[in-house]
Amino acid sequence: MSGSAGLSSGPVGPSRASERMSEEPRKGLFRRKPKDPNKKPGRLAQMRQVYDLAAKHNKATPWLLAAAVVGFTLLGLLAGLVFGGAVFTTILGLMVGLLLGMFMLGRFAETAAFAQMEGQPGAFGAVLNTARRGYLMDEKPIAIDPKSRDLVFRSTGRSGVVLLSEGPKARSAKLLAKEKKRHERILPNVPVHTLQGGSEDGQLQMKQVVSTVHKLPRKLNRAEVLAVRNRLSALGTQGTRPPIPKGIDPNKARPNHKAMRGR
């Protein structure tokens, strides 16, 4: 009985082992790695997303891109036939056309993105965040009007502190002026620039925000920018500062000397 049991149990082990091997992924040179869902899309996938966004907003995008590439390629070929070196000039025209097409695609995608964000809360903050040339922006608004929901965003760079409001011109101007005074009191030697974002006269449209910020005169070096940034981070924002109790003015508060003497 024991022998028969041993014989019958013999093939069970290898079969189970084979099942495990079939379940486990094969290890080898040509084994495909599982896709990471958190992995960022590649360069080609990003270009495809940009093209889809631009083409969805502007139906003429593919025709304009094709016209740029084909037009400069033909222009290079024509120049080569006239002056010689047709192969070189054709390739040069193709490269110029591709560069122009990439530039046009970026502009079309930017316009489409602005059109999608139009009217959404925090849209101007998202646009200000694209000013990457030496600027560091706070992730959240530094000031919010609880009644009107007007916002003020802040970015720190070589030009100093940039405050950008979002809301109607007359209403958001008060909140913007209040934040400017607070920053000038905290940073007396640092320039504080105020900008208003919106669709009214005197306000910046989304496509004008980044160019306006980059045109501001540079007054600080990198070390000073980091020092200002650390100073502002330590002070916090309206959302992180503790509220002041009603009925108490901390600037006029006086200590109770009788209570301090134990009377």
Q: Residues 194-221: pLDDT tens digits? A: 999 888 888 888 888 888 999 999 888 8
Closest residue by Cα to residue 59 from 104, 100, 108, 106: 108
Percent of the chain having pLDDT more than 90?
Answer: 24
Q: Where are the beta strands (DSSP E) in 172-233?
A: 192-197
Q: Residues 2-47: pLDDT tens digits? A: 444 444 444 445 555 544 444 455 555 555 556 555 666 667 777 7
Instruction: Say if CB 149 and CB 222 are below 8 A apart.
Output: no
pLDDT higher than threshold 90 for residue 73: yes
What does the radius of gyration of the chain's CA atoms come to, in whole angstroms? Answer: 31
Query: What does pTM read for this prediction?
Result: 0.60
pLDDT higher than threshold 50 for residue 148: yes
Instruction: Say if CB 124 and CB 146 are below 8 A apart.
Output: no
